[in-house]
């Protein structure tokens, strides 16, 4: 066991409580206090049981999509119980415990602004816009932990092309659903709500930018952004906005929630960059869940530099963090 003295210990070095408790519970249940010689999917399911806050639906006709990593997929139970979704609480387990009554049907997403064909899309319409693809993406949190998830969806550009952005559209603004009655912990979130995010138009139109409707073969759990969200694998996780209700094509750079909250720590671009430290911890290495330590080197653009680096040619990526 590696021990650190408190002056050297940062919050981002601490083992996730959910990881510790699940492993400890399993070991004691098996009557073991040392290591376990078992491996594989069954063990992962025992250690990290999935928590879906509603009856999920298997997504049919899903094909293997491009850009998938061949890295080991994170156990589903960790991805469904270790979340940031402040409307349902600020602790990692809060969203899975508190989002069970969140109503995600009926649902529609309004697309408006600088477009020729503004419209609302129902979820049934979204699911029929394009073949659903499973893309196994790395997902990197600014808190220096990371996961690998089999997301399901299709490139955001499919939807964008249907509404025909005008030449005036330079950015895309996104807005999450917000209802104080369904999200009673919102008052403790410490951020402005509804949650808003934004991208440059060329970022949003990049094939990697995923309009996501599911993961692990099924529809999204409430705590992971049901029923539809964005997934932007080369950016820190908070850019992948959950539970979308509004998409607006705009002329000027839109406001984003974490930039509003603390511009010193959270810039508009928020690209994964191991050379730019968070003011309170290093981003050079990450903890790949369910691992315990920050022993995985962080890759530039989260490992997607070959695909997206050209979007930022000539930019100062330290200034434009």
- Tell me the domain boundaries of the chain: 52-310
Polymer length of the chain: 321
Q: Which residues of 148-178 are buried (b: 16+ CB within 10 A; e: fewer)?
A: bbbbbbbbbeebbeebebeeebebbbbbbbe
Which CATH number, 1.10.357.10, 1.20.140.10, 3.90.420.10, 3.30.390.30, labels domain 52-310? 3.90.420.10
What residue spans of 251-309 are helical by DSSP H? Answer: 257-261, 305-308
Assess contact for 240 and 232: CB atoms under 8 A.
Answer: yes
pTM of the model: 0.86
Picking from 124, 119, 201, the residue whose alpha carbon sits closest to that of residue 157 is: 201
Residue range 234-293, pLDDT digits in tens = 999 999 999 999 999 999 999 999 999 999 999 999 999 999 999 999 999 999 999 999
**E-only strand ranges, 185-303:** 196-200, 210-215, 218-219, 229-231, 244-250, 285-288, 296-297
Q: What's the rounded Cα separation, in Å, for the pair 190 and 261?
A: 8
Residue 84: partners with Cβ closer than 8 Å, 6 or more residues away: 92, 95, 141, 237, 238
Residue range 167-226, pLDDT digits in tens = 999 999 999 999 999 999 999 999 999 999 999 999 999 999 999 999 999 999 999 999
Picking from 320, 308, 317, 287, the residue whose alpha carbon sits closest to that of residue 14 is: 287
């Amino acid at each position: 066991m590696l021990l650190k003295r408190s002056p050297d210990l940062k919050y981002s070095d601490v083992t996730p409580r959910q990881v510790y408790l699940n492993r400890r519970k399993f070991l004691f249940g098996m009557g073991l206090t040392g290591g376990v010689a078992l491996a594989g999917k069954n063990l992962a399911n025992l250690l990290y049981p999935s928590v879906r806050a509603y009856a999920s639906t298997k997504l049919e006709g899903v094909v293997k999509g491009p850009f998938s990593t061949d890295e080991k997929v994170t156990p589903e139970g960790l991805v469904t119980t270790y979340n940031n979704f402040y409307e349902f609480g600020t602790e990692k387990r809060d969203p899975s415990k508190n989002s069970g009554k969140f109503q995600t049907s009926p649902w529609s997403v309004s697309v408006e602004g600088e477009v020729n064909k503004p419209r609302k899309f129902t979820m049934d319409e979204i699911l029929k816009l394009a073949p659903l693809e499973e893309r196994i993406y790395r997902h990197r949190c600014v808190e220096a932990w990371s996961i690998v998830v089999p997301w399901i969806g299709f490139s955001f550009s499919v939807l964008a092309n249907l509404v025909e952005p005008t030449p005036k559209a330079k950015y895309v603004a996104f807005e999450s659903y917000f209802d104080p009655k369904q999200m009673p912990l919102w008052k403790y979130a410490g951020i402005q709500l509804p949650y808003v995010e934004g991208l440059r138009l060329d970022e949003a139109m990049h094939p990697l930018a995923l309009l996501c409707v599911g993961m692990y073969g099924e529809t999204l759990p409430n705590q992971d952004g049901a029923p539809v969200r964005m997934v932007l694998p080369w950016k820190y996780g908070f850019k992948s906005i959950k539970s979308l209700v509004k998409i607006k094509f705009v002329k000027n750079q839109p406001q984003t929630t974490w930039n509003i909250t603390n511009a010193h720590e959270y810039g508009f671009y928020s690209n994964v960059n191991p050379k730019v430290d968070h003011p309170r911890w290093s981003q050079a290495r990450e903890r790949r869940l369910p691992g315990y330590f920050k022993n995985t080197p962080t890759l530039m653009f989260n490992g997607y530099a070959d695909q997206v680096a050209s979007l930022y040619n000539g930019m100062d990526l330290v200034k434009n963090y």
